[in-house]
Chains A and B, each alone.
Chain A
Amino acid sequence: MQKYSIFNLVKNAFSNHENWDLAWKDPTPKKEYDVVIIGGGGHGLATAYYLAKEHNITNVAIIEKGWIGGGNVGRNTTIIRSNYMHDDNALFSEFGMDLWRKMSQDLNYNVMFSPRGIINLAHSDAQMNVYARRGNSMRLNGIDAVLLNREQVKEIIPMADFSENVRFPIFGGLMQPSAGTARHDAVAWGYARQADSMGVDIIQNCEVTGFDISSGKIKGLRTSRGDIKAKKIGLCVAGSTNILAEKLNMTLPIETHLLQACVSEPVKPVLDRVVTFGAGHFYISQSDKGEMVMGGDLDGYNSYAQRGNLPTLQHVLTEGIAMMPFLSKLKMLRTWGGIMDMSMDGSPIIDKTHIEGLYLNCGWCYGGFKATPASGWTFAHTIAQDRVHELNAGYSLNRFNTGHLLDEKGLGTKTWIS
């Protein structure tokens, strides 16, 4: 594989950049693989990469119905954080933060990780108490957390509405300085390029149509490009989880929902942090191009339409304007929607299944992007070793059956609970 470096950049400049290698190949599926990962999104690509890198398993295929970077990894708000209270979520996400910090070097691809910090705004004394508790829990788990009062928040984000007579005055906020954003497409492309270079077959435009299971053991899968035998199969398909579960006769604690995001026209640098509204569900950051990147609630009903509906967008942006009134002057550049695998307690599932050799990775709700490296790393471990790692032990499938829910916010599919 051609290394991306200043030296190679200069060298290729002499040939008008026409001789760069393809970032990844377009192979024909082989008859058999040791591991097949279904879903070529961020998590699937990361899983294949860590299978090769950490476990030396390279006879691996990624089966993707669309194209690399065309799903949720290319349509999110790029926020990376580990500001969780529960140990299972906190330790998993903080492990991921370490991988994020090393990612550009590790993948030889600039993912533009920008640890600019995230501020969750508080709008009442009670909320300040809740944030203090969460901040303390985070610090006990070795995650940086700073509780800010109103004046401190005002110093960092003076453009927010600090007037006295507003419905949701800003009391303060909880900040995780090490949180941030990254270039989402680069994450997909970087993982794809490295996985490909280590021998992983990335097979695009290939739809899974069925599974071959005998005596409780996975044998292979049927696809639109022929049958493929596999010793192990990892399901990593986010919003399409329910569709594949149906083919496996499984019913999961997952509903597929629609989540929207939008960007404004690009403006000069105004916001150098990620900020979330505490009296609703709204988050905002500014991209390197200057666009304000915004998102919020689910549309609220089961959906496979990768496009949003106006009432929710209006609701979300109303919150945004309440928080930062200057947003009302901006024009909207783009809005888009993706389909989310919403779990019933709001936390993901990375686990084995009752079918031997079949592994499940789903339920990422609002927070799939930030989990990309940690999800890939732990899922690769679960598949390679045929047992869960302690980092994803809390993300078990049977927790709904045993009552060990991981309800960070207790939201899941029910947006109206908030």
Chain B
Amino acid sequence: MLFIKCPHCGWRSQNEFSYGGDATVKRPELGKQVSDQEWDDFVYNRKSLRGKHWELWQHLSGCRQWIKVERDTATHEIFNTLKANEEIS
């Protein structure tokens, strides 16, 4: 069982959260000409490496806010959590 520290609510069990994937993926800028490759990278292509991974979770059965979580994909250790609007340093 993972325990995730929601920046809004504090420590909660994994059961309250829903997973949202890689948090470092950026949507191509609005109003800009987007190539097929850029769109492909945004929608489908992922690094998904072993080790530290910044990812989105939603506190679905809690405050319903989206948050960013830094977690190790091999050990499942969680290092850091941020609000959705906070930049990954």
Contact = CB atoms under 8 A, between A and B. Distances in A.
Interface of A: 242-243, 246, 251-256, 300-305, 309-311, 344, 400-401, 413, 416
Nearest to A298: B19
B38 to A, nearest CB: 11
Contact of A400 (B15, B44, B49): B44
A309 B75 CA distance: 12
A304 B46 contact: no
Contacts of A401: 36-37, 40
A242 B48 CA distance: 6
A353 to B, nearest CB: 14
Contacts of B2: 309
A416 B17 CA distance: 12
Nearest to A416: B18
Contacts of B48: 242, 254-256, 302
A251 B1 CA distance: 30
11 contacts: A243-B49, A252-B46, A256-B50, A256-B73, A300-B19, A302-B21, A302-B73, A305-B76, A344-B43, A344-B44, A416-B18
A365 to B, nearest CB: 14
B44 A242 contact: no
Contact of A242 (B18, B21, B49, B74): B49
Nearest to A401: B40
B47 interface: yes
B45 interface: yes
B67 to A, nearest CB: 13
Given A243-B49, A300-B19, A310-B1, A253 B75 contact: no
B37 A302 contact: no
Which 3 pairs of residues, A with B, have the shortest CB-CB distance?
A253-B44, A251-B45, A255-B48
A246 B73 CA distance: 16
B37 A311 contact: no
- Determine the interface band of chain B, counting residues with CB < 8 A from chain A: 20 to 34
Given A301-B19, A309-B1, A309-B2, A400 B40 contact: yes
B76 A303 contact: yes
A253 B50 contact: no
Contacts of A300: 19
Most A CB within 10 A of own CB, among B22, B44, B49, B53:
B44
B75 A311 contact: no
B80 interface: no
Nearest to B40: A401
Interface of B: 1-2, 14-15, 18-19, 21-22, 36-37, 40-41, 43-50, 53, 55, 71, 73-76
A304 B18 contact: no
B15 A311 contact: yes
Contact of B50 (A243, A251, A310): A243
B46 A251 contact: yes
Contact of B46 (A254, A303, A416): A254
Contact of B45 (A243, A246, A252, A256): A252
Contacts of A255: 21, 46, 48
A246 B49 contact: yes
A300 B4 CA distance: 15
A403 to B, nearest CB: 9
Contacts of A243: 49-50
B88 to A, nearest CB: 16
B41 A302 contact: no
Given A242-B50, A252-B45, A304-B50, 12 more contacts: A253-B45, A254-B46, A255-B46, A256-B73, A301-B19, A302-B21, A302-B53, A303-B76, A309-B1, A309-B2, A401-B40, A416-B18
A282 to B, nearest CB: 19
Contact of B73 (A303, A309, A310, A413): A303
A300 B20 CA distance: 9
A71 to B, nearest CB: 15
Contacts of A253: 40, 44-46
B44 to A, nearest CB: 4
A246 B71 CA distance: 19
B40 to A, nearest CB: 5
A400 B46 CA distance: 12
A302 B21 CA distance: 8
Contacts of A246: 47, 49
A252 B46 CA distance: 6
Contacts of A254: 46, 48
A252 B45 CA distance: 5
Contacts of B45: 251-253, 400
B74 A305 contact: yes
B16 to A, nearest CB: 10
